């Protein structure tokens, strides 16, 4: 009877844990396990061409761009393609009112015009190795998490040091997979001399702006181009004018023949983070608490920023990158909540858990499996007591830049009490010029006026610091009077005031600094978080880390399908699917492809996000598309059902032969819950068609010389 019970429970679990046809972010060294499925889906090259350690795999052409994006090498001279929004922060640092690259774009017309990008790095993964046996050797499953973490951290440091000492010239990075049940090391070559080559103006690269972000149909020319430089030995080197373009072992061939619905596609890159295996209570926490609070607070902050950005071009330049970052999550979370509820994900996950519990009745190998879910649920419920207050502190209080700047004032106060205050003060304020370059006190005050009333109305009395209440009471509950006084008094509310204080600061200035109202607000917020909120969340999270690892291990033990692929963790992955349109809510005039004519039709000179550059309109009117369109149009973007997430921005989209057909830049709003639950009927990634990229480079940018170094098939 027990044998029948085990068999029946395994059959039930197999139905639940089965990965859908298009789901998955696969580890490149393990692609042989997907070879048959990929060939069946349409792959025409061996999976060994996608990844190998001989230096001939396509992994050699896929790079980690900066800290959170992907890029691809598209020539033998280190030419690199990524997203416009991936290069945005870098280009902001290179721009000014005189050189407004957001308004006018930038195109190098020869190598000597390429602009160095200080601090930007590009990393190529040369190989990945499974080091689980080294990291987890002899560690019991139920070892206390703090003890386990300490041992693992030391083992990771030792292992990474041994790789660095091996004279490979590669930078090691050990990462956890399957909630800490496996560990792999990525061995990377990290390049430090990166230069800007091409950057379309916002009228192309950000066309549609926040209104179209996460949406389909889409007409955003979301690309930018850089070049990787190396030393004389073709190895990474710091910037030097004498450095030469990097010669990669492999670069991508561009295929400009076009796509059609049903075509096989692959997305290769560095997806940031997913949580596909959460418990139902954890998903409900996101859908009912975390996301709604963030959406509410960011709606208020974005409204204030937008009003001031539209009224002043300098403020626009100061806040455009910050706004893009804040708005990206804001809109994504809206789609995530809608998708989770539309797909009834919490109920589906509870059904999975019921089957899991049925399996535990017959399992004797993992004694902790019986109650692991109930313990997860208990800890989530405990965290939910204080979590709303914490999210409001993060989004409403620290969403005010002046209050967040209190962290610097706090470090300054500490510095003034040291034996070498002048030296320590300079450390405390490092980077202050960069902050004020992109800060406007009037704009920030408008944010305060929106967020502080929200904070007071939403957070329980027990979590509102006394300092907040006392400062507001001085102005008889008038938030605008409070903000007017705050921004007129704080030394952090303006560059000139801050610089003046910094020049004259001595230990005798400590009392003035500690009386600063912004510092008082910051310290009070941090004290409340530290004493009333953090202990509860930290204790729950520590327990949840252990329980989630045990739960994941038990899932894998219950059914082998559960080990299909690990959650994304900013390491190299490959997803595959097909070009596919979508009608998420029934019949709709959606297609898998968009065209330039549709962007021209959306042109609106009164709305910055929809202002088509005049040159692009002229090219369209004369049908001057060159090789990249037909007689009437140029394709702009297409969608497919590849499993992607943040970090896949800039990822190459490859065809059945591993040729570049597009650059991934977004997902559709209806499917953003794919970080938690992949629904093949709703999940689509949006890619820029390589033909539009080439058209813009050659015809709009006038930089056709760049095409000469690419390998293009048509």
Active site residues: 85, 222, 649
**For strand 244-245 and strand 254-255, is the pairing parallel, antiparallel, or unpaired?**
unpaired
**Residue 147 in tokens:** 């003890």
| Inter-CA distances, 269 with 72, 124, 569, 653, Å | 9, 11, 11, 9
The residue among 456, 460, 459 whose CA lies nearest residue 471 is 456
Q: Which of 264, 205, 65, 232 is nearest to 697 (CA)?
A: 205
List, as one string, the DSSP characters of 1-67. Answer: -HHHHHHHHHHHHHHHHPPPTT---B-GGGGGGGHHHHHHHT--S-GGGTS-SSS-SGGGGEEEETT
- Looking up tokens 């409340």 gives 528
φ/ψ of 552, rounded to 5, equals -65, -40
Question: 217, 589 in Cβ contact below 8 A?
Answer: no
Structure tokens at 639: 């969608």
From CA 537, how far away is CA 217, in angstroms rounded? 41
Element (H, E) at 337: helix 313-342
Alpha carbon distance 318, 96 (integer Å): 10
Query: Angle at CA 380, nearest 5°, toward 379 and 386?
Result: 100
Side-chain-side CA neighbours of residue 324 (13 Å): 19
Q: Which of 70, 75, 97 is nearest to 86 (CA)?
A: 70
Report the relative pairing of strands 171-177 and 69-73 from DSSP bridges: unpaired
- Residue 20's CB is within 10 A of a number of other CB atoms, namely 13
Structure tokens at 108: 């190098």
Which residues are bridge partners to 569 per DSSP? Answer: none
Cα–Cα distance, 636 to 663 (Å, whole number): 11
CA gap 39, 128 in Å, rounded: 23
Map tokens 């510092």 to a residue. 519
């Amino acid at each position: 009877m027990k044998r029948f019970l085990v068999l029946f429970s395994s059959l039930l679990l197999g139905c639940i844990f089965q990965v859908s046809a298009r789901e998955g972010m696969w580890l490149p060294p393990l692609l042989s396990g997907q070879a048959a499925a990929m060939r069946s889906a349409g792959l025409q090259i061996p999976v060994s061409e996608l990844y190998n350690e001989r230096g001939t795999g396509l992994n050699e052409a896929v790079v980690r761009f900066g800290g959170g994006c992907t890029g691809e090498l598209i020539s033998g001279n280190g030419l690199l393609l990524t997203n416009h929004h991936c290069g945005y922060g870098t280009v902001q640092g290179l721009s000014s009112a005189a050189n407004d690259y957001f308004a006018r774009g930038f195109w190098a017309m020869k190598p000597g015009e390429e602009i160095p990008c200080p601090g930007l790095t590009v990393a190529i993964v040369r190989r990945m190795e499974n080091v689980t046996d080294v990291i987890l050797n002899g560690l019991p499953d139920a070892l206390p998490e703090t003890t386990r973490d300490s041992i693992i951290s030391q083992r990771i440091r030792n292992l990474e040091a041994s790789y660095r000492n091996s004279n490979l010239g590669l930078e090691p990075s050990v990462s956890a997979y399957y909630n800490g049940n496996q560990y792999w090391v990525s061995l990377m070559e990290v390049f430090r001399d990166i230069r800007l080559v091409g950057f379309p103006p916002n009228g192309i690269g950000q066309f549609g702006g926040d209104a179209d972000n996460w949406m389909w149909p889409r007409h955003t020319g979301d690309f930018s181009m850089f070049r990787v430089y190396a030393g004389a030995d073709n190895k990474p080197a710091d910037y030097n004018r004498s450095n030469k373009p990097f010669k990669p072992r492999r670069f991508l061939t561009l295929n400009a023949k076009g796509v059609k619905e049903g075509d096989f596609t692959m997305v290769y890159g560095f997806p940031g983070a997913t949580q596909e295996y959460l418990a139902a209570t954890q998903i409900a926490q996101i859908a009912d608490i975390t996301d709604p609070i963030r959406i509410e607070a960011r709606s208020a902050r974005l409204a204030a920023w937008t009003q001031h950005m539209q009224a002043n071009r300098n403020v626009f330049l100061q806040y455009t990158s910050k706004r893009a970052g804040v708005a990206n999550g804001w809109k994504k979370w809206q789609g995530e909540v809608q998708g989770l509820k539309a797909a009834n994900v919490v109920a589906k996950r509870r059904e999975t858990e019921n089957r899991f519990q049925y399996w535990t009745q017959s399992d004797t190998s993992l004694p902790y499996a019986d109650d692991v879910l109930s313990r997860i649920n208990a800890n989530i419920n405990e965290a939910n007591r204080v979590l709303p207050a914490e999210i409001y502190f993060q989004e409403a209080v620290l969403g005010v830049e002046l209050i967040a700047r209190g962290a610097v004032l706090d470090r300054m106060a500490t510095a003034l009490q040291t034996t070498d205050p002048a030296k320590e003060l300079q450390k405390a304020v490092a980077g202050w010029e960069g902050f004020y370059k992109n800060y406007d006190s009037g704009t920030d005050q408008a944010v305060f006026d929106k967020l502080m009333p929200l904070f007071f109305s939403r957070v329980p009395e027990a979590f509102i610091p006394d300092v907040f209440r006392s400062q507001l009471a001085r102005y008889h509950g008038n938030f605008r009077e409070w903000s007017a006084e705050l921004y007129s008094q704080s030394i952090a509310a303006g560059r000139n005031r801050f610089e003046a204080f910094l020049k004259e600061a001595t230990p005798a200035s400590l009392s003035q600094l500690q009386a600063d109202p912004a510092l008082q607000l910051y310290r009070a917020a941090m004290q409340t978080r530290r004493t009333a909120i953090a202990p509860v969340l930290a204790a729950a999270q520590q327990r949840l880390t252990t329980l989630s690892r045990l739960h994941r291990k038990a899932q894998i033990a219950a059914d082998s399908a559960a080990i299909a692929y690990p959650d994304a963790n900013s390491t190299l992955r490959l997803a595959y699917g097909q070009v596919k349109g979508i009608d998420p809510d029934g019949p709709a005039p959606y297609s898998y492809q968009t065209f330039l004519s549709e962007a021209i039709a959306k042109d609106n000179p009164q709305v910055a996000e929809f202002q088509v550059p005049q040159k692009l309109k002229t090219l369209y009117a004369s049908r001057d598309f060159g090789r990249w369109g037909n007689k009437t149009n140029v394709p702009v973007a297409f969608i497919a059902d590849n499993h992607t997430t943040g970090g896949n921005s800039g990822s190459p989209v490859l065809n059945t032969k591993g040729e570049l057909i597009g650059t991934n830049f977004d997902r559709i709003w209806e499917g953003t819950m794919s970080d938690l639950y992949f629904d093949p009927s709703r999940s689509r990634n949006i890619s820029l068609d390589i033909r539009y990229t080439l058209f813009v480079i050659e015809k709009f940018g006038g930089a056709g010389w760049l095409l000469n170094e690419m390998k293009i098939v048509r």
